[in-house]
Amino acid sequence: MNVNSKGHLTIGGCDAVTLAKRFGTPLYVIDEDAVRRSCRSYVEEFGARYPDVRVIYASKALMVKAIALLVLEEGLSLDVCSGGELYTAVAAGCPPDRIYFHGNSKTAAEVEFALSVGVVRFIADSLDELRLIDRLARSKGLIANAMLRLTPGIEAHTHDYIKTGQIDSKFGIVIPNGDALRAVGIAKGLANVRLTGLHCHIGSQVFEMEPFVDAVDIMMSFARQAYEATGFVMEELDIGGGLGIR
């Protein structure tokens, strides 16, 4: 954003006063070039170090078809958390194998919709949800791939309301008290769910790198523990997002 010679705010080179006169207010304006640059920086930086990495856009930030199309063009996948976000992703032409279905309160209707459009990655927030996915997949004669969302027990240095990795978080299955290991064992026994990976998310607006490093260490250590205890082999590790924006 800048200020032009008229003293007007400009966004992506567009005069905000002109935009307000044309479209009215309140008005939500997005600098497409800025969004694309951010997408590319993540894809390039991670891709240069990890050839099999996927960068995933969190649809909760803004989910309209134009944004979905933009991030797909830049090589990202989509994280959706509701039936509405999933519908928008499908309407934008997102391939099912690039959709990650998150959310800690999926309804049976949403899971059925996801299965019907071919979503292959469910991130299960609880054992109840995992069993729901298993039951609905069985009714359709399908095998659903799922990842478990775990709570690593990390206190990210951010506002209390946007922390999600601590033990008392409403999100995920707790690692330190043994619940997560029990969940892996149960998941491996479900006939219509194939456990493929693990996921965690420690919070939003996190400006320090140390909590992310700690989270990876804990998740990798747990993956080894789960393998030794149950034979589970982790194919994917999703470390979530939350890197702060200034």
Cα–Cα distance measured from residue 245 to residue 223, given in angstroms and rounded to the nearest whole number = 30
Cα–Cα separations (whole angstroms), residue 78 to 9, 14, 37, 41, 58: 32, 28, 17, 17, 6
Query: What CATH number should be reported for the domain holding residue 197?
Result: 3.20.20.10
What is the tally of structural domains in the chain? 1
Contact 154, 166 (CB under 8 A): yes
Those residues whose C-beta lies under 8 Å from the C-beta of residue 199, and which sit 6 or more positions away, are 123, 147, 148, 149, 150, 172, 237, 238, 239, 240
Cα–Cα distance measured from residue 4 to residue 216, given in angstroms and rounded to the nearest whole number = 45
Cβ count near 20 (within 10 Å): 15
Does the residue 70 lie in any domain?
no
Contact 94, 72 (CB under 8 A): yes
| pLDDT tens for each residue of 219-236 | 999 999 999 999 999 999
Does the residue 129 lie in any domain?
yes
Q: What's the average model confidence in pLDDT over 89-118?
A: 95
Tell me which amino acid residue 126 is.
S
Does the residue 171 lie in any domain?
yes
For 57, phi then psi, to 5°, come to -80, 130
| pLDDT tens for each residue of 105-149 | 899 999 999 999 999 899 999 999 999 999 999 999 999 999 999
Reduce the DSSP state of residue 18 to 3 states and report it: helix
Percent of the chain with pLDDT over 90: 75
The reported pTM is 0.87
Contact 57, 76 (CB under 8 A): yes
Does the residue 33 lie in any domain?
no
Predicted local distance difference test score (pLDDT) of residue 194 = 97
Query: Which domain does 195 fall in, by range?
Result: 102-238
DSSP conformation letters of 70-122: HHHHTT-EEEE-SHHHHHHHHHTT--GGGEEE--SS--HHHHHHHHHTT---E
Cα–Cα distance measured from residue 11 to residue 27, given in angstroms and rounded to the nearest whole number = 12
pLDDT at 245 over 90: no
Q: What's the average model confidence in pLDDT over 88-108?
A: 94
Predicted local distance difference test score (pLDDT) of residue 170 = 53
Does the residue 65 lie in any domain?
no
Does the residue 232 lie in any domain?
yes
Predicted local distance difference test score (pLDDT) of residue 240 = 86
Q: Which range is least confidently modeled, 129-133, 167-171, 190-194?
A: 167-171
Q: What's the average model confidence in pLDDT over 14-25?
A: 97
Cα–Cα distance measured from residue 67 to residue 190, given in angstroms and rounded to the nearest whole number = 36
Does the residue 245 lie in any domain?
no
Does the residue 135 lie in any domain?
yes
Q: What's the average model confidence in pLDDT over 171-198?
A: 92
